[in-house]
Structure 1
Amino acid sequence: MDNPQEDEQMAEIRNELQTNGCAAAAAMIQTYLDEQDNVQLNIAITGESGSGKSTFVNAFRGIRNSDKERAAPTGVKETTKDFTPYPHPNYPNVTLWDLPGIGTTNFPADKYLKLVEFERYDFFIIISADRFRENDVKLAEEIQKMKKKFYFVRSKIDHNIHDERETRGSEFNGEETLKEIREDCIQGLKGRVQSPQVFLVASRKLHLYDFRLLEKTLQEELPAHKRDALLLALPNVSIEIIIQKKEALQARIKYLAIMSALGAAVPVLGLSFAADMAMMVTTIRKYQATFGLDKESLQRLAQTVRKPLDEIRAVMTSPLAGNEISKDLIIKILCSSMIELSLMAAEEGSRCIPFLGIPAAMGLSFVSTYKSLNMFLDMLAEDAQKVFEKALGLNTAV
């Protein structure tokens, strides 16, 4: 499918190349990629005290509640005394703000939005552990007036399901229970909130219930330039998210390949290869973190699902699995892939050809970088799917 924004960007790069040369065009591409990586997304998480705001913030960021350094503090008492930013560990441009409960002494309902600096946030998630209260409705009404998006999340659904199963025994019906909870919440909001949507979420089990529907809704309703920022920061709670992440990362490869080609225009033997290797190390490390396959992310996942780390790692089959991404590792893998290696060798050799050497080297550099990064991305996306299936499974039954 054609992307008008990408077509426009490519036209600008082409014009810069023709007008100001390779170095200027490469600088333009780098600026564009940096802008993509630094799109700011601020998500406000609010609701009454004890609703599970902090646990949701931690789960979204892939941080355990027990992580004393980075986790939002949780507890049965009101633990959020101020509005506190919690940047995503791998994508610091995405920040979740743990807001104090509305209606507390320091944050009365009628002054709440002003006190928490309303304009800062791209959208609000209003969380409740049971029915949404009067203060939640008042907040939603004020957000509506300000023309910003908000979403109701009914938290701790796994607790409700457990309690209902214990109470009803053989008469328990999971789907009916979820339907009853959702309808009960919606009925309490009708008449004051336009077309209320309520998402049922268990923060410790985001792969179940409505979190996938919530993230899909957020992506659809966010401005286009912020969708990738959200997507890449999302936890891997479904195969669909992993595939979408792969597609988003894949769309950027052509820009990196063009930069590689422009670098190959410099008539210095070995310089382009060295630059490409440095770029690949940085890019593949980003892929690894995005898919949650870096060492720290895998350790957190193992702790969360209570499975041995070695058991989760065992399903990863790519040569990148379990290894620190380095120049030596990349060269070793490329050596086993003769197509990529031969293209890189041909690129360096082509520089010796009179007149046509540099253009040929540029073309080969583009192809080798494009094919190599796609190969590494495929490897990691496949490993991510295997890890997801091993850790969480595909069973969404309640």
Structure 2
Amino acid sequence: MERELAVEVEAAIKASGASTFEEAQEKAKQEFEELCHVTLNIAVTGGTGAGKSSFVNAIRGVKEGDEERAAPTDVVECTKTPTMYPHPTMPNVNIWDLPGIGTEKFQTKKYIKDVNLDNYDFFLILTCTRLTEHDIMLAKEIRKNKKNFYFVRTKIDQDVKSEKRKGKAEEQTLSVIRQDLKEKLNDFPSAQIFLVSSWKLDKFDFHEMMCVLEKDLPEKKQDALTLSLPVYSIEILKKKYKAFKRGIWAQASASGAVGAAPLPGVSAAFDVTTISAFLTKVYYSFGLDDTSMKQLSDRVGKPIPADFKHSKLVKAIASKSVTALQVELTGFIVAEAIESALRFIPIAGSVAGAGMSFWSTYLALRKGLDELFTVSKKMLEMAKLK
């Protein structure tokens, strides 16, 4: 594995355009700072009853009924003003629940003025039936402001279930709905249309939609979107893993020794605090906390065995005790990483300037990331999510 990591680091240096390890580190620090401060504002809008609040809760990975974090849902319009819901574990990602358009209280022209289209990175225009003239007018205004927008047909699971009772196959139902929406969008020949269910993110067009949204975003905002998504498939888990893997290089470069006080038996060059913070973020993004696991269990309709909780690293993070986590890191990751770093430095000798501090932190972050990925993948396999 040491040789593989040496190749990774050399590739990272080459990709950065730097000629030395020190220059690449400095650039990585700057990029890491930018990543930490980048913001992503997603607007969810549409007609009354389109399922906006349920959708907002779903993409934030928040269970409806969570009084502290969930967007309120009801059969009538609940949202009176643009309401921001910060992501529970990615505070720089904000989901905006906008008021329903076209109601007596929210006429289109006034609506457009009140919500201030410039505030958002892109718009998701939701409907649960047919697109209305208000939806079309809103899309035209968004286009005038040169913002991206996407049409989202919600509650597809209900339509499929209803039509199945009439003898219609799922694909036939989806085809009819998709064609009906396209016919209403003559003014938008290249419009993106997605059919989704807020209750079954692993089905229909949700994954395809997120891939398109990510591709259309500026590069520095793509990871923010990926890391904020709930874990609904092994494929999205792998995308999160790759995003965090890219962040390891920047994190190890940004941390260095930073003068962190070592734990007993831990090299002063080893930044345990940085590693604890990073792996805790991974833990929540990978859906390993109790709340996320309960939601996964509810979604698939069966209990998820707790075998994966035998992981010492998962137990340490779940304890929410910084001291306990740091002690566990000492036994689980740190000692092995330092030993690996001692073997690693001669192998990576061509990477000038790479000292114990960088390698030990880098290796510990990678080992912890791999452990959490393995645990989360096992959990998804237990849930029979591909």
Aligning the two structures, in what range does the TM-score lie when normalised by the shorter sequence?
0.7 to 0.9
Instruction: Establish whether residue 154 from structure 1 lines up as the match of residue 153 from structure 2.
Output: yes
Correspondence for 2:3: none
Does the 8 A contact of 1:200 with 1:210 survive in 2?
Answer: yes
- Report deviation, 1:292: 1.1
Correspondence for 1:196: 191
Q: Distance in 1 between matches of 2:20 and 2:223?
A: 21
- DSSP-derived class of the 2:317 partner: coil
Correspondence for 2:87: 88
Does the 8 A contact of 2:28 with 2:249 survive in 1?
Answer: no
Q: Distance in 1 between matches of 2:84 and 2:34?
A: 21
Correspondence for 1:222: 217
Correspondence for 2:363: 371
Give 2:176's aligned amino acid: E
Query: Which among 273, 281, 285 is matched to residue 278 of structure 1?
Result: 273
Q: Percent identity?
A: 39
Q: Deviations over 1:179-199 (max 9, x none)?
A: 111111111112x22412210
Query: Which among 178, 182, 189 is matched to residue 178 of structure 2?
Result: 182
Q: Distance in 2 between matches of 1:265 and 1:324?
A: 20
Query: Which among 276, 296, 300 is matched to residue 301 of structure 1?
Result: 296
- Report deviation, 1:289: 1.1
Matched residue count: 363
- Report deviation, 1:70: 1.1
Q: Deviations over 1:13-47 (max 9, x none)?
A: 83598xxxxxxx5xx86554232122110000000
Query: Which among 241, 244, 248 is matched to residue 239 of structure 2?
Result: 244
Q: Distance in 1 between matches of 2:223 and 2:98?
A: 24
Correspondence for 2:135: 136
Does the 8 A contact of 1:262 with 1:362 survive in 2?
Answer: no
Structure-2 change in CA distance of 1:298 and 1:126 (3 Å) = same
Give 1:340's aligned amino acid: A
- DSSP-derived class of the 2:184 partner: helix
Give 2:197's aligned amino acid: A
- Report deviation, 1:3: 7.5
Does the 8 A contact of 2:49 with 2:128 survive in 1?
Answer: yes
Of 360-369 and 40-49, the range deviating more from structure 2: 360-369
Q: Distance in 1 between matches of 2:288 and 2:269?
A: 26
- Report deviation, 1:177: 1.4
Instruction: Establish whether residue 389 from structure 1 lines up as the match of residue 386 from structure 2.
Output: no
Output aligned runs, 1:2-81, within 5 Å: 7-8=16-17, 14-15=22-23, 32-81=31-80
Q: Distance in 1 between matches of 2:66 and 2:384?
A: 21
Q: Distance in 2 between matches of 1:140 and 1:11?
A: 47
Identify unmatched segments of 5+ residues in structure 1: 18-24, 348-359
Correspondence for 2:5: none
Q: Deviations over 1:115-164 (max 9, x none)?
A: 10110000000000011111111111111121110000000000001101
Q: Deviations over 1:315-339 (max 9, x none)?
A: 456432344360111112137xx74
Normalised by the length of structure 2, the TM-score is 0.84
Output aligned runs, 1:351-362, within 5 Å: none
Give 2:317's aligned amino acid: E
Question: How much is the aligned-residue C-alpha RMSD, in angstroms?
Answer: 3.2
Q: Distance in 2 between matches of 1:150 and 1:392?
A: 33
Correspondence for 1:354: none
- DSSP-derived class of the 1:321 partner: helix
Does the 8 A contact of 2:231 with 2:237 survive in 1?
Answer: yes
Q: Distance in 2 between matches of 1:226 and 1:240?
A: 20
Q: Distance in 2 between matches of 1:383 and 1:270?
A: 28
Structure-2 change in CA distance of 1:138 and 1:4 (3 Å) = farther
Query: Which among 337, 341, 344 is matched to residue 340 of structure 1?
Result: 337
Correspondence for 2:206: 211
Q: Distance in 1 between matches of 2:22 and 2:342?
A: 27
Q: Deviations over 1:100-123 (max 9, x none)?
A: 011123321123222101100000
Q: Distance in 1 between matches of 2:269 and 2:96?
A: 41
Q: Distance in 1 between matches of 2:213 and 2:281?
A: 23
Does the 8 A contact of 2:194 with 2:209 survive in 1?
Answer: yes
Query: Which among 311, 314, 319 is matched to residue 321 of structure 1?
Result: 314
